Structure 1
Amino acid sequence: MVQERPVRIERRLAAILAADVAGYSRLMHRDEEATHAKLTSLLANSVAPAISEHGGRIVKNTGDGFLAEFPSAIEAVRAAVQFQVRTKELTAADEDQQRIAFRVGINVGDVIVEPHDVFGDSVNIAARLESIAEPGGICISSSAYDHIRDKVGIEFVDLGEQNLKNIALPVRAYAASPNSHRPATRAGGVGTSTRYRPRLSIVVLPLANLSGDPAQDYFVDGVTESLTTDLSRIRGSFVIGRHTAFSYRDKAIDLKRVGQDLNVCYVLEGSVQRGGNRFRVNVQLIDTETGSHLWADRFDKPISDLFEMQDEIVSRLANTLNAQLIAAEARRAERSSDPSALDLYFQGMARWNKSWTPVHMNQARSFFERALELEPDNVEALVAIAMVDAAIGSIVFADDPYKHFAAAEAASIKALFLDPQNAAAHMALGVVQLCTRRVAQGVAECEHALALNRNMAEAHSLFGIAKLLLGRPEETEAHVREALRLSPRDEGMHRWLGYVGLAKLHLGADAEAIEWLSRSLKANPNYPVAHFICAAAFALLGKMEEARAAAMEGLALDPTFAIRRFKNVWLSDDPICRAGSKRLVQGLVLAGVPEGDVHKVRK
């Protein structure tokens, strides 16, 4: 019997070009027919001729974009430049809010070929590169860059290694400046543009060893390398690789010049010094365009376990820098007349971090919704909406909390479908499960989040809430202390401190509850829930004047609050937790907090 040979799969090396329309959903929402007609015209009069002229073929259309294959990376880049320039010319008369602009990603690699499609990681990488390109811009992989180096007159910016969604290994990427689609200043060369700096671009310069002991170099370098890795996890960040950063070791440095040379917006620099049995680490974040210092901090730790201390320093720095960079980028985004999805995400996060009042929560949600209008599959915006809805339900800002829990779960599940390894999405789903009496599943999701991102201090604080819901409030404090150890100045620390205050009230330790809640309100006085819990604790201690004052503070921030909202949120079936919740309600009633729809404190 003759065994049939397996069907041969056709493969070949190719340059893959992926493109889509920036903000397509927003454009279609404004005017479906006009957007469809303009896109059809651009594809016919700008894109197709350029691809054909440079020996490529359009493999398939993807609704708001297309996939093309070329036998040459050089021709793929030339075609992209040609249709980007032509598209800009054809849309020059359009209003900003109605202008169509393509984002392009190009990669070179081995692909599986079928008559009307191509498959493989090389195709996926091109698509992911397209997603981080600027509107009107081109982003290429290092494999494509190696082919075009010194052969096209386009300026490219080295973006460093990028962690692309659903791609196992980092990919080094290069971006063409939107304004550099013309011959480079060096004949035929690929230079570095100073006109366009990627958002959230940063280089961690080697920390200086001031100890006078070369044996400590390994520790100092370890902190630098770990921090470089952890900062790359920040959404949208472009972190210069450590090999490039280490080329600046032991050199006199002009930080503005570093920004120009590497095309980065921010530099993190610092030093490590050993004195006796202690290490001191100084760090500062600098804006390379202005030279201004955005943030500085000092860490002073005993030498007990060098590597444990390194992890703690890196965790604290990464958590703090995340918030600092988001705030800086939100300020930049406010000046944009045509904000991108990333701009809107940063502005939403700035509202989220500012204070947890109904007004700010709704503002944050509005920014995230607008980001999703521009990019319906934006994972970070989906996660942010999930966290906002879970928060609105769990801290009793709404009369129907379970409607918000359902919306939060749907958003987090969609985010995980799009990016199964997204730590924040796992944590968001965990929050929803904790809030809907699925504590074991919620803890498992938070543990998964920590496995993906060991610096996620928020996940540790959620373990504290889980213990409260399981009827073990005495264990909450330890988990919150671990979160504070990892991120002692976190934007969310007021919530974590409030968790301990609530746990102490459940334990009947009302004076301790007030101490923790006072720390919470010192960290962020615009946190209405902490005011209400504090009012209950004062009332249970018989301090009625303080109780009513705290209730008034809470109602000033959330005038629609009523005790019935607490009763509507049934987070646990555990009898100990239920008893603690009843005790909280008792304190709220004594403090004169409204029980129904009358929004003023009873005298």
Structure 2
Amino acid sequence: MGKTPGQKAARVKDFKMSESEILRKIAVIFVTDVVGFSTLMAQNEELTLRSFRSCKEILDNLFEEHSGRIFNTAGDSVLAEFPSAVSAVICAVEFQKLIKARNASVPNAAQMQFRIGLNMGDVIIEGTNLYGDGVNVAARLEALSQAGGVCLSKSIHDFVSQKVDLGFQDIGAQQVKNTNVHAFDVSIGGLAPRQIAPTPPAIEPVEAGAPPSIAVLPFKNMSTDAEQEYFADGVTEDIISHLALWKTFPVVSRNSSFSVKGLSLTASEISDKLNARYLVEGSIRKAGNKVRISASLTDALKDRTIWSERWDRPLDDIFEVQDEISIAVARAIDPEIRRQSRENTELSKPESLTAWDLYLQALQKYHRRDAPEGILSLCDQAIQASVNFLDPYLLKCKVLLRERFKPHNRERRAELSAQIFEIASYVVGKEASNAGALAMMASYYFQLNDLDNARHYAHEAFGINPNNSAATRALSLTEAYAGNIELAYDYFLKTQALDPSEWREWPQFEVSLLMVLGRMNEALDKITRAVENDPENNLLLGFKVAALGNLDRLADAQQGLEAFLQLRPDVTSLADYAPLLPDFVVEAVLQGMQKAGLKQ
């Protein structure tokens, strides 16, 4: 078996890339060409070139408006990259609409039609040009596109479908030039939908060692009004969508889940039919301007309910309530399945452990703060058992990130950063819409002080899954360093609610935000507890001294300063201390330290 990305990266000693090394990034690729260009050229070369230039001018103007950058052209083909999947889709649709309007105003011989393919994926950078799978898939989608149409990869669709007011047609897995691509057409006015032969929903076999699958069954409409069925179905579909964002567990598709609607089947029979161990069931009752929604989670293998909840809400905004409930259900179910699976794993014999079991053991050790070697070993075993199971890769990134901040690893930071980047890049290459991997890319660029790229990847991750704690953590950090402190604190609180363990390595970060926001009493309370847990940590003690100084508790501040200077005798002035602090908190900390008596 080949080496994993982490094993390869372990050879990296100096992370400053030489010019000979391959540079990669995640990019949104836009590819278009003219339908039947060769035929048009053969019929009237001069007219065809004039028409193409006219159309190209329209495209150039749209690229400028939506921040598209052309990186290659070949005859009638144009390849461009975009900073945003949403911008690329809007640009593509506007272009097709403008070309349609142009065609209506010129003679038949001067009319042109274009195909467009869009993909988000890993690309190789060479000068101003881009290569690699991300570009190749976009080119294949362009070949698959209808004349006058826009064809998207699943990675683009999943990212933009909830952000743009457009319709999409799922045309399924398509074989194009020996490559299987799951594609979607954008519904554009005047363009007939493709005729796809209806097929019964396919139930995917569960890969050995993969996490257990979950099926969200159609919620029952308990209202007397049969027309409220749409509301129950809408909530069900939203819960499926939100659960799928976690990418922790395989989620049975909407078509498959709805195939059991109205059937009298036991939980065990539904589980067998859908290949799903866990079932989410629920009911919705609307009365007047109120709605009651109940949901439960069943372990079909053991035939027992392991979680249930009920919500009562006013129906001031039906869609807002629908979204709130679906997110709440998804957020509650994810950790519940983790807990249940971990309990099952603890009862398993070592020789029967699957990739999922090994990953859960590694995750438990990670949360217990066990030695990194044991956690990484379990992750590698999980990867060897199921190379396409991506969670162990991301857990390795978290372990390496934690290690990077430990003082004794100061000399290894470049090496650890290299490993994080290579593993995260590998996962993004496998699954471009993986929020956890994109959040790790943000962390990597943050470590390099590349704030623009760090914010870009953090926002990409958050856009894919706003309930991914690594994404909200990355946003909190990057927005703080960008000077958006209130926004950073909002993301901090969101991260804390999703997974408090994300901030255990950085107790001073919340204190920094509170100090800059002027909430000194809260900052002092937080930092005092942190210092009690780690009294030899000079960074924490320095923040406590600053908080005391800012609160004009000068006797306590001066006493704390003496203890701080014993730990850091090299800091003899404010000028010595300033370079050790994050930029956004320098002013607040130095002000407090000056009051405590630290000289300028």
- TM-score tier, shorter chain, comes to 0.5 to 0.7
Q: Mean Cα displacement is larger for which, 471-480 or 248-257?
A: 248-257
Partner of 1:381: 392
Structure 1 match to 2:350: 337
Within 5 Å, give how 1:553-592 maps onto structure 2.
575-579=583-587
- TM (norm. structure 2) is 0.52
What does residue 453 of structure 2 align with? 441
User: 2-side partners of 1:428 and 1:440: how far apart?
Assistant: 15
In 1: Cα distance, 2:538 partner to 2:278 partner: 41
For 1:537-567, what per-residue CA distance to the aligned partner results, in whole angstroms no more than 9, with x for missing partners?
66644899x99xxxxxxxxxxxxxx989x9x
Contact 2:223-2:286 at 8 Å conserved across structures: yes
Q: What's the counterpart of residue 202 of structure 1?
A: 214
AA matched with 1:329 = S
Which string of whole-angstrom CA distances, capped at 9 and with x for unpartnered residues, describes residues 440-496 of structure 1? 111101222234335435423422221222344333222335557xxx454657669
What's 1:415 paired with? 427
Q: 1:477 to 1:344 in 2, by over 3 A?
A: same
Instruction: Report the Cα offset of residue 429 of structure 1.
Output: 0.6
Measured in 1, the distance between the counterparts of 2:483 and 2:408 equals 24
Q: Report the RMSD for the aligned CA atoms in angstroms.
A: 5.1
Once the two structures are TM-superposed, the CA of residue 433 in structure 1 deviates from its matched residue by: 1.4
- The structure 1 residue matched to 2:329, chosen from 313, 317, 328, is 317
- 1: distance between equivalents of 2:441 and 2:377? 21
For 2:398, give the aligned amino acid: M
Q: Retained in 2: the 8 A contact 1:225–1:242? A: yes
Spell out the pairing of 1:298-313 with structure 2 (5 A cutoff): 298-313=310-325
Query: Per the alignment, do residues 380 and 260 of structure 1 end up closer, same or farther by CA in structure 2, a change over 3 Å counting?
Result: closer
Instruction: Identify if the C-alpha distance between structure 1 residues 397 and 299 changes in structure 2 by more than 3 Å, giving closer, same or farther.
Output: farther
The equivalent position to 2:360 in structure 1, one of 346, 367, 370, is: 346
Distance 1:237 1:474, change over 3 A: closer
1:441 and 1:572 map into 2 onto residues whose CA distance is 23
1:102 aligned partner: none
State the distance in 1 between where 2:466 and 2:519 align. Answer: 32
CA displacement at 1:336 relative to structure 2: 4.5
Structure 1 pair 406–510 and aligned structure 2 pair: CA distance change class (3 A): farther
Aligned to 2:192: none
1:38-88 superposed Cα distances (whole Å, 9 cap, x missing partner): xxxxxxxxxxxxxxxxxxxxxxxxxxxxxxxxxxxxxxxxxxxxxxxxxxx
1:118-140 deviation per Cα after TM superposition (whole angstroms, max 9, x unaligned): xx99xx9xxxxxxxxxxxxxxxx
For residues 303 and 572 of structure 1, the distance between their equivalents in structure 2, rounded to whole angstroms, comes to: 52
Residue pair 1:507, 1:580 contacting (<8 A) in 2 also = no
Q: Distance in 1 between matches of 2:516 and 2:384?
A: 43
Distance 1:213 1:279 in 2: 13
The answer as to whether partners of 1:198 and 1:264 remain within 8 angstroms in 2 is no
Query: Unmatched 5+ residue regions in structure 1?
Result: 1-22, 30-119, 125-160, 179-196, 548-561, 591-603
CA distance, structure 2, for counterparts of residue 25 and residue 581 of structure 1: 46
Aligned partner (choices 182, 192, 195) of residue 168 of structure 1: 182
Q: 1:434 to 1:24 in 2, by over 3 A?
A: closer
1:587, 1:346 → 2: CA distance?
49
> Take 2:222 and 2:404, find their aligned partners in 1: how far apart are those partners?
50
Aligned partner of 2:108 in structure 1 is: none
Look up the match of 1:510.
520
Deviations for 1:374-412, whole angstroms, at most 9, x for unmatched residues?
Answer: 556754332222232223334768444444333212221
State how 1:18-57 maps to structure 2 within 5 Å: none
Deviation for aligned residue 1:205: 1.4
Task: Return the offset for 1:434.
Answer: 1.9
Say whether the 8 Å CA contact 2:278–2:298 is kept in structure 1.
yes
1:391 aligned onto 2:402? yes
What CA distance in whole angstroms lies between the structure 1 residues aligned with 2:448 and 2:597? 25
Given candidates 243, 258, 262, the residue that maps to 1:246 is 258
**What code does the residue aligned with 2:395 have?**
A
Match of 2:278 among 266, 270, 285: 266
- C-alpha distance in structure 1 between counterparts of 2:543 and 2:582, whole Å: 22
SS at match of 1:284: strand
Distance 1:510 1:260 in 2: 58
Q: Give the Cα separation in 2 of the matches to 1:420 and 1:410.
A: 14
1:463 is matched with 475
- Taking only the aligned residue pairs, the percentage that are identical comes to 19
The amino acid across from 2:279 in the alignment is: V
Separation in structure 2 between the aligned mates of residue 505 and residue 302 of structure 1, nearest angstrom = 38
TM-score (norm 1): 0.52
What SS class does the counterpart of residue 182 from structure 2 fall into? coil
CA distance 1:426–1:237, change in 2 (3 Å): same
Q: Which amino acid aligns with 2:278?
A: Y
Distance 1:517 1:216 in 2: 52
List alignment gaps of at least 5 residues for structure 2.
Answer: 8-135, 141-171, 185-200, 558-566, 572-576
Measured after TM superposition, the shift of residue 218 of structure 1 is: 1.9
